[in-house]
């Protein structure tokens, strides 16, 4: 782990550190109090730093949300790790390669025709990406936080990867917060493969949500199918919530506006 820089966020005590794990950039924030919880976030460019955010300097304002919710629950704030995707000018489909659920496509699930020539199954890198998170990044930054108190969060392709990660690594974290999962990427087949892969209910918690504007406008039928399948597997209201946010769109500003709710779903347990 090599440190690149440190920076501050208005209203957030301490500093965010930017570090490098091999070719993977990571931003992370640790509260002053010893953290008992850990949140792992995809698309780390958009978590803390408006100068690296991919959409008009919008961030998730994730540390601010964590501080608010933790104060209301009278608990220590969680540590937050933002893992950058690898998309660059030289690697324009790096984010998709990082976040696409690789095993499903290796086993024959068909990607949407618009991406079939780009995201080839044997070139997807999500398994390596997740191995870096759980084998290198988390043990280096927050080694003492238990898996039971660890959550992962992501949106769009990051929402899909959050669910995929829970199915592939159910002993590494126990709460999946999946905002605007991009189901149309492979339709009902992706819904079925994802829900089938998830651990049996009892120990884990799952949050799913989407809006009604922009890309999110197409999500409703797929999400309703996912809800039906997950409830058929035995997930109940105390360990599974699915929300629709009217007039909410597919961007960091929209997700930040309701982030306190999935944050509370996780931290109040």
Q: Can you give the pLDDT at residue 112?
A: 81
Domain count, the chain: 1
Q: Counting Cβ atoms within 10 Å, is residue 34 exposed (0-12), middle (13-18) or buried (19+)?
A: exposed
Retrieve residue 68's tokens. 């608010």
Residue with tokens 């590494």, as numbered in its chain: 172
pLDDT at res. 175: 98
- 132/58 Cα distance (integer angstroms): 27
- Mean pLDDT for the chain overall: 96
- Give the residue, 198 or 123, on which the prediction is more confident: 198
**pLDDT confidence tier of residue 111, bands split at 50, 70 and 90:** confident
Length of the chain equals 269
Q: Who's near 200: CB < 8 A, 6+ residues apart?
A: 233, 234
Please give the pLDDT value at position 10.
93
Q: Helix, strand, coil proportions of the chain in percent (round to 5)?
A: 40, 20, 40
pLDDT the model gives residue 97:
95
Confidence of residue 130 (pLDDT cuts 50, 70, 90): very high
Average of per-residue pLDDT across 96-116: 91
Residues 201-217 have pLDDT tens digits of 999 999 999 999 999 99
Confidence of residue 176 (pLDDT cuts 50, 70, 90): very high
* % of the chain at pLDDT higher than 70: 100
| Confidence bin at 28 (pLDDT 50/70/90) | very high
Mean pLDDT of the 212-225 span: 98
Element (H, E) at 90: none
pLDDT band with cut points at 50, 70 and 90 for residue 119: confident
pLDDT-derived band at 87 (thresholds 50, 70, 90) equals very high
Residue 56: per-residue pLDDT: 74
Pairing of strands 2-9, 12-21: antiparallel
Tokens linked to 150: 């660890």
| CATH code, domain carrying 132 | 3.40.50.1820
In sequence order, which ranges of 82-184 are alpha helices (DSSP H)?
94-99, 102-106, 126-132, 138-141, 157-168
Percent of the chain with pLDDT over 90: 91
CB of 32 closer than 8 Å to CB of 142:
no
- Looking at residue 149, its pLDDT comes to 98
Structural domain of residue 182, as residue ranges? 2-267
Q: How far apart (Å, rounded) are the C-alpha atoms in residues 169 and 165?
A: 6
**Mind listing the pLDDT tens digit for each residue in 35-75?**
999 999 999 999 999 999 987 789 999 999 999 999 999 99
Closest CA to 186 of 260, 106, 112: 112
CA distance 90 to 181: 26
User: Residues 164-192: what's their mean pLDDT?
Assistant: 97
Q: At what angle do helices 187-197 and 220-232 cross, to 10 degrees?
A: 30
The pair phi, psi for residue 56, each rounded to 5°, is: 55, 40
Q: Is 57 helix (H, G, I), strand (E, B) or coil?
A: coil
Banded pLDDT at 22 (limits 50, 70, 90): very high
Residue 256 has pLDDT above 90, yes or no: yes
Assess whether pLDDT exceeds 80 at residue 117: no
> What is the C-alpha separation between 81 and 3, in angstroms, rounded?
14
């Amino acid at each position: 782990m090599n440190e690149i820089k440190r920076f501050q966020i208005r209203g957030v005590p301490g500093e965010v550190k930017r570090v490098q794990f091999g070719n993977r950039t990571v931003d992370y924030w640790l509260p002053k109090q010893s953290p008992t919880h850990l949140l792992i976030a995809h698309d780390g460019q958009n978590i803390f730093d408006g100068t690296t955010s991919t959409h008009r300097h919008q961030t998730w304002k994730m540390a601010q949300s964590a501080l608010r919710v933790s104060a209301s629950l009278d608990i220590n704030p969680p540590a937050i790790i933002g893992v950058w995707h690898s998309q660059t000018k030289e690697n324009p489909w790096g984010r998709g390669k990082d976040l696409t659920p690789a095993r499903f496509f290796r086993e024959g699930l068909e990607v949407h025709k618009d991406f079939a020539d780009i995201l080839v199954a044997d070139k997807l890198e999500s398994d390596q990406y997740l191995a870096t998170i759980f084998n290198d990044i988390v043990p280096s930054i927050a080694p003492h936080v238990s898996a039971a108190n660890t959550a992962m969060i992501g949106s769009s392709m990051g929402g899909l990867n959050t669910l995929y990660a829970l199915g592939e690594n159910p002993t590494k974290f126990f709460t999946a917060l999946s905002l605007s999962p991009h189901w149309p990427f492979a339709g009902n087949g992706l819904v079925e493969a994802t829900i089938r892969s998830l651990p049996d209910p009892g120990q884990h918690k799952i949050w799913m949500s989407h809006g009604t504007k922009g890309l999110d406008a197409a999500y409703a039928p797929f999400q309703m199918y996912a809800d039906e399948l997950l409830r058929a597997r035995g997930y109940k209201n105390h360990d599974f919530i699915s929300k629709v946010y009217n007039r909410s769109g597919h961007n960091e500003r929209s997700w930040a506006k309701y982030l306190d709710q999935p944050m509370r779903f996780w931290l109040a347990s």
